[in-house]
Amino acid sequence: MSEIVIEVEHLYKSYADTMAVQDLSFRVTAQQCHAFLGPNGAGKTTAMKVLYGKAKPDDHPETRINVLGYDPRLQELKIKTLSGVVPQEDNLDLELNVQQNLQIFSKFYNLSRAHAQRQIDYLLEFMELTEKRKSQVRELSGGMKRRLIIARSLLNNPSLLIMDEPTTGLDPQVRQLIWDKLRELMRGGVTILLSTHYMEEAYQIADVLTIMDKGRKIMEGAPRELLESQVEGHVLEVTDLEYSDQFESAMDGSPFRKEQSSQRAIYYAADGSALEQAAGHIPRESFIMRKSNLEDLFLRATGRHLNEGQ
């Protein structure tokens, strides 16, 4: 049986009159990537902060929290010693260079100077920052800053890495580089819990996905299994609503499911050939045909688009 690294039962967290997390339960298995997927305000960041002690959960009789064998409400320092945290914000010291940022942080773990330097050298190479060792942090690109924060989170050789929106705002090449590094860490035995609102990120690297919305868990499972069980495999978006009725008539009784917004009509079907044949009756520039994705899964579960209003 696989080791459980994080186990949370009935977590509640409120701020004043706002319920940020409501009755959240989940488990994270060792050496896997478990991802929270949801829009801003879904409760992802709040739940993570509870796990490493930065936020205190509501006092609820059913709440149980176990992280690496410890309760963050009582043993926050133990968890911080064994885990690494990549916060959403870039909280580096801009007045120091890359190496100095890591040296300062290594002191929190009581690493000897020699041990710290060996670890810093290794992590700079691992995150492809060796040539930037002496560069001022303020001179780094956004992608380099994120890579430095990830390097910093690994100084203590953590068995658990908690990452809040690790690739937000980064270009696709840098995002892919970070995904590759996360896969390498997992192969080395590290367990990863990350939050994201990028459906591709969740699909590419998560072994288990917890979809959240408005503080609640909507569904959970392996990304591909969730898609296959919840959403038809083929999608056609009519981007010019003038042609939606014409398209539906051309479906000629073939089964489909429809989601509509003010800007487009989205048709789902198990039979992609039926969608393709019906699309031949409307102008090519009026539709997009594609495979289903996690955006469609979120829409099916909540009635809203993943990044609606963002």
* Domains: count for the chain: 2
Please indicate, yes or no, whether residues 60 and 181 belong to a single structural domain of this protein: yes
Please indicate, yes or no, whether residues 110 and 212 belong to a single structural domain of this protein: yes
- At 162, is the pLDDT very low, low, confident or very high (cuts 50, 70, 90)? very high
Please indicate, yes or no, whether residues 54 and 127 belong to a single structural domain of this protein: yes
Please indicate, yes or no, whether residues 214 and 264 belong to a single structural domain of this protein: no
In a domain, 57, yes or no: yes
Phi, psi of 165 (to 5 degrees): 50, 60
> Beta strands 287-291 and 234-238: pairing type?
antiparallel
In a domain, 83, yes or no: yes
- At 220, is the pLDDT very low, low, confident or very high (cuts 50, 70, 90)? very high
Side-chain half-sphere CA neighbours of 285 within 13 A: 0
Q: What percent of the chain has pLDDT over 70?
A: 98
Burial 66-103 (b: 16+ CB within 10 A, else e): bbbebebeeebebbbebbbbbbeeeebeeeebbbbbbb
Instruction: Check pLDDT > 80 for residue 136.
Output: yes
- At 305, is the pLDDT very low, low, confident or very high (cuts 50, 70, 90)? confident
Q: What is the pLDDT of residue 189?
A: 95
Answer yes or no: are the C-beta atoms of 98 and 135 closer than 8 Å: yes
On average, the pLDDT of the chain sits at 94
Q: What percent of the chain has pLDDT over 90?
A: 87
d(CA 105, CA 35) in angstroms, rounded, equals 26
Cβ-proximal residues to 29 (8 Å cutoff; 6+ apart), any chain: 2, 3, 4, 5, 191, 207, 208
**Mean pLDDT, rounded, for 186-207:** 94
Structure confidence by residue, pLDDT tens digits, 57-75: 999 999 999 999 999 999 9
**Greatest mean pLDDT among 86-95, 145-154, 252-261:** 145-154
Q: Which of 172, 196, 227 is the last residue of a domain?
A: 227
Instruction: Check pLDDT > 60 for residue 156.
Output: yes
Q: What is the pLDDT of residue 84?
A: 97
Range of the domain at 19: 4-227
**Mean pLDDT, rounded, for 41-48:** 95
Q: What is the pLDDT of residue 308?
A: 60
Sign of CA dihedral 205, 211, 216, 221: negative
Q: What is the pLDDT of residue 119?
A: 97
- At 1, is the pLDDT very low, low, confident or very high (cuts 50, 70, 90)? low
In a domain, 305, yes or no: no
In a domain, 22, yes or no: yes
Q: Count H helices, E strands: the chain?
A: 11, 13
Structure confidence by residue, pLDDT tens digits, 248-280: 999 998 999 999 888 899 999 999 999 999 999
Q: What is the pLDDT of residue 259?
A: 93
- At 52, is the pLDDT very low, low, confident or very high (cuts 50, 70, 90)? very high
Q: Which of 227, 260, 283 is the last residue of a domain?
A: 227
Please indicate, yes or no, whether residues 262 and 146 belong to a single structural domain of this protein: no
Query: What CATH number is associated with residue 253?
Result: 3.30.70
d(CA 28, CA 192) in angstroms, rounded, equals 8
For tokens 């009635």, what's the residue? 303
Q: What is the pLDDT of residue 2?
A: 74
Q: What is the pLDDT of residue 78?
A: 95
In a domain, 296, yes or no: no
In a domain, 310, yes or no: no
**Mean pLDDT, rounded, for 122-131:** 96
Q: What is the pLDDT of residue 181?
A: 94
Q: Which of 32-46, 128-142, 209-223, 292-306 has the lowest mean pLDDT?
A: 292-306
